[in-house]
Amino acid sequence: MSSKRQLSFWDMWNLSFGFFGVQIAYALQSANISRIFATLGADPHQLSFFWILPPLMGMIVQPLIGKYSDRTWCGMGRRKPYLLVGAIVAVLVMIFLPNAGSLSFSSRLILGLNGAMWFGLFSLIFLDTSINVAMQPFKMMVGDMVSEEQKAQAYSIQSLLCNAGSLVGYLFPIFFTWIGIANTAPKGQIPQSVIWSFWCGAAILIICVLYTFLKVKEMNPQEYAEFHGIDPAAASVQEAKKEGLISLLLHAPKTFWTVGLVQFFCWAAFMYMWTYSNGTIAANCWNATDTASEGYQAAGNWVGVVFAIQAVGSILWAIVIPKFKSLKLAYIVSLLLGAVGFISVAFVHNQYVLFLSYFLIGAAWAAMLALPFTLLTNSLHGEHMGSYLGLFNCTICLPQIVAAAVGGLVLKLCGGVQGNMMIIAGVLLILGAVSVRLVEEKRQNS
């Protein structure tokens, strides 16, 4: 195989810049969905069920995006068409979702949900589907276009943009409250601070994605084959080797499964953080349980702040991770620090002390963003990169679905105290750290 071309820093920056906008949308979703549905009238025991939809859609969509984009070669590129379509749909949904409580829906309950919650539910389905469609191509393009020697740097740049986007998305509601936009609303309606956050996030999302779309030129089939050392005869949409997703899954390298086990515990833990942080912080720090109260909505803003602290912790810890001699040791230490952060949240009653808790959680998040993909892509060849990354997303989605499905029951067993769910999350991260010992760091044979 010929020597692989090296990309400049700005080439790699352009490759992932759109991820900044996509992550703003994802951060707004993760920090505000529980707040939105609680405000629309959802019972705390119902909240976890709303969180089933995002990972479920990701589990369905991302393997398909990987499979079909592996075979897509057109004038616009290979991954970029999916990127653009996903971004456009996400923008449209972000305009309408936070207005669910302001539209004239019936208050009659159908299967326990009123009209506004049903509208929000379907909006959430479309939002997360479109975010998944827009997000996955960025991971794939790094795998496609970056040499093995530069891949760690490229994913680090992507992680930096990811966390920077999270920071902006998390802080939007409290920023708009600070400049005077209302942070409370009539019962059953979403505050204007949240609505404006989604609208601005939508604008930034489309601008960033268009930047990457216009700046990046993907390889043609022949260039791709040469870059990855693939038989040129199979370069044109891989006609010679159309393996189905099930077949690929059965022949996946061992790293796929062992890292997937770690992922199961980690993403289940973060599902409980996203679902129950608002209720925990409102109860512990504001002594507020009424979702229409000023205290509950103030806690909702503070969730954005502590999630932003988590993003800062993730950015700083990402600098530390390469200092470890072993990726596995870095993984274990990161997850254990995150476990301490999760468990401490349940016992903290000062909103500022939560900064330390979520900073520690950021260490686990940094490891989860970078190390699984580094370990996996280093064990793969280029022929089915997109398909395997799409399938690997199931190790992110499935644990969230399981955690969300049993979340209401677990909360009931925990006495209905949402803070106890943060302790459960900490235990899950400890189990993840233990599972890292099963991972092998080696490339599969040709």
Residue 45: per-residue pLDDT = 65
DSSP output for 129-147 = HHHHHHHHHHHHHHHHHS-
Residue 240 has pLDDT above 50, yes or no: no
Q: Which residue has the higher pLDDT, 174 or 247?
A: 174
Residue 55: per-residue pLDDT = 75
Q: Which residue has the higher pLDDT, 34 or 259?
A: 259
Compute the distance between CA of residue 379 and CA of residue 4 in angstroms, rounded to an integer: 18
Residue 444 has pLDDT above 70, yes or no: no
101: left (phi over 0), alpha (psi -120 to 50) or beta: alpha
Residue 266: per-residue pLDDT = 96
Residue 446: per-residue pLDDT = 37
What is the average per-residue pLDDT within 134-139? 84
Out of 201-215, 322-336, 354-368, which region has the weakest mean confidence (pLDDT)? 322-336
Residue 420: per-residue pLDDT = 95
232: pLDDT confidence band, cut at 50, 70 and 90?
low
Strand ranges inside 226-375, DSSP E = none
Residue 101: per-residue pLDDT = 65
Count the neighbouring beta carbons within 10 Å of the beta carbon of residue 85. Answer: 13
Q: Mind listing the domains of the chain with CATH numbers? A: 9-226+251-438 (1.20.1250.20)
Residue 30: per-residue pLDDT = 78
Helix (H, G, I), strand (E, B) or coil at 77: strand
For the chain, percent of residues with pLDDT exceeding 70: 88
Give 169-202 pLDDT, tens digit per residue: 988 988 999 999 998 877 778 889 999 999 999 9
Residue 280: per-residue pLDDT = 94
Give 34-82 pLDDT, tens digit per residue: 778 777 777 766 666 776 777 777 778 878 887 788 778 788 888 899 9
CB 310 within 8 A of CB 359: yes
Residue 87: per-residue pLDDT = 93
Give 353-409 pLDDT, tens digit per residue: 999 999 999 999 989 987 887 788 777 765 666 777 778 888 888 898 899 889 889
Q: Indicate whether this model's pTM tops 0.85.
A: no
Mean pLDDT score across all residues of the chain:
84
Q: Which residue has the higher pLDDT, 73 or 230?
A: 73
Compute the distance between CA of residue 179 and CA of residue 175 in angstroms, rounded to an integer: 6
Residue 383: per-residue pLDDT = 64
What value, to the nearest 5°, has the Cα angle with vertex 31 and ends 142 and 165?
35
What is the average per-residue pLDDT within 332-351? 96
Helix (H, G, I), strand (E, B) or coil at 41: coil
DSSP output for 86-144 = HHHHHHHHHHHGGGTTTS------BTTB-HHHHHHHHHHHHHHHHHHHHHHHHHHHHHH
237: pLDDT confidence band, cut at 50, 70 and 90?
very low
Give 6-47 pLDDT, tens digit per residue: 889 899 999 999 999 999 998 898 778 777 877 777 776 666
Compute the distance between CA of residue 92 and CA of residue 126 in angstroms, rounded to an integer: 9
Helix (H) or strand (E) holding 200: helix 192-215
Residue 243 has pLDDT above 70, yes or no: no
Q: Which residue has the higher pLDDT, 110 or 402?
A: 402
Helix (H, G, I), strand (E, B) or coil at 10: helix
